[in-house]
Amino acid sequence: MVGGVVIRGGEGSGVTGSGGRRSRSGAAQFGALGLHLADSRSEESVLGVLAAVEAELLASIASADPFVTEAARHLVEAGGKRFRPLLVALGAQFGDPTRAEVVSAAVVVELTHLATLYHDDVMDEASVRRGAPSANSRWTNSVAILVGDYLFARAADVAAELGPEAVRLQARTFARLVHGQIAETIGPRAGDDPVAHYLRVIAEKTGSLIATSVHFGAQFSGAAPEQVAALAGYGETIGVAFQLSDDLLDIASESTESGKTPGTDLREGVPTLPVLYALAGDDADAASVRLREILATGPLTDDSLHAEALGLLRESPALKRARETVRSYAEDARAQLAPLPPGPARHALESLCDHIADRTS
């Protein structure tokens, strides 16, 4: 909680490089995100950045108070996709990825992301995060909030070493995270389009930090300004697409690919894009009418109603429309890569677009 607001993160489960409990090889890490680095030198460069980030993360959160260090290390050591540092490393391929500032920039975005996860678990009253007890369940809500604040402060401290531009961008990104959380918390105002409101929340809560990640990578590697701008636009758009695809997987997947039991959002009454499309639809067929009736009741804690709604959503025009929206965002992200020179890094970013568009088909 900073300034009275608890900030919730976007996606957070998955794999990590060295140092996490659920670490995988570099090839598996790239594969899990649909990334393909055909050039071995580029892959070694990216993996080198990620390995350095792991070491610097642990160093940056160390405190003179052993308890603060333990609590701050809790989620660092639990793992995660390290999606944002990975995008920093990929953005850096358009300049000189060996610059020390690249690793520091990746640490800034990952510390900011981790801080949001501590706050997220407090708001959700979560008991587990990345397969381990959440900080709030292991200690208390107050401790989890304060540790999140500590990580935000550490991120700002590292950003200060990178100069005023980094501090400004990190602060503006943080402000967008706050705005996104407030908008989600209060919900659409009277007269607002719920779908437009939802997409705006995702852009601010998830897209903004992913945009900053690739921006930082390009900027601190010395890439050309037009390439920095192109990558920032790509990052925000692909971030929205990635979050939306996770929403769809929660409904469409029979597995736990999304990191949650399928239908969790329905059970908790979280209005994701397919649900919003279904509620806003005017289809007169019996299945669509019945689906709107069920969804209008709120959280589906009744097992039979939950199963019925999940089945109807999987066959609904709303899910098809949501898939088209994800594909549209993925294609928009690809288009924003046009100013970048061809090569392994651009190909990897394009492959992420394909992965996101295809994973919910």
Q: What is the pLDDT of residue 265?
A: 85
Q: What is the pLDDT of residue 131?
A: 63
Query: CA-based diameter of the chain, in Å?
Result: 64
Q: What is the mean pLDDT of the chain?
A: 85
Read off the pLDDT of residues 313-327 as tens digits, 9 standing for 90 and up: 999 999 999 999 999
Which CATH code for domain 224-360?
1.10.600.10
Residue 21, Cβ neighbours under 10 Å: how many? 11
Dump pLDDT digits (tens) for 146-188: 988 999 999 999 999 999 999 999 999 999 999 999 999 899 9
The pLDDT tens digits for 38-54 are 677 888 888 899 999 98
What pLDDT is attached to residue 67? Answer: 87
Model pLDDT, residue 337: 97
Cα angle, residue 10 at apex, residues 241 and 205 outer, rounded to 5°: 80
pLDDT at 204: 96
135 contacts: CB under 8 Å, gap ≥ 6: 71, 74, 75, 118, 121, 129, 143, 144, 147
For the domain 38-223, what is the CATH superfamily, name and number? Farnesyl Diphosphate Synthase (1.10.600.10)
Asked if 38-223 and 224-360 have one fold, the answer is yes
pLDDT at 86: 93
DSSP 223-268: --HHHHHHHHHHHHHHHHHHHHHHHHHHHH-SSSTTSS-TTHHHHH
**Sites in the chain below the pLDDT cut of 50:** 1-25, 258
* Domain ranges across the chain: 38-223, 224-360
Tell me what pLDDT residue 31 has.
Answer: 58
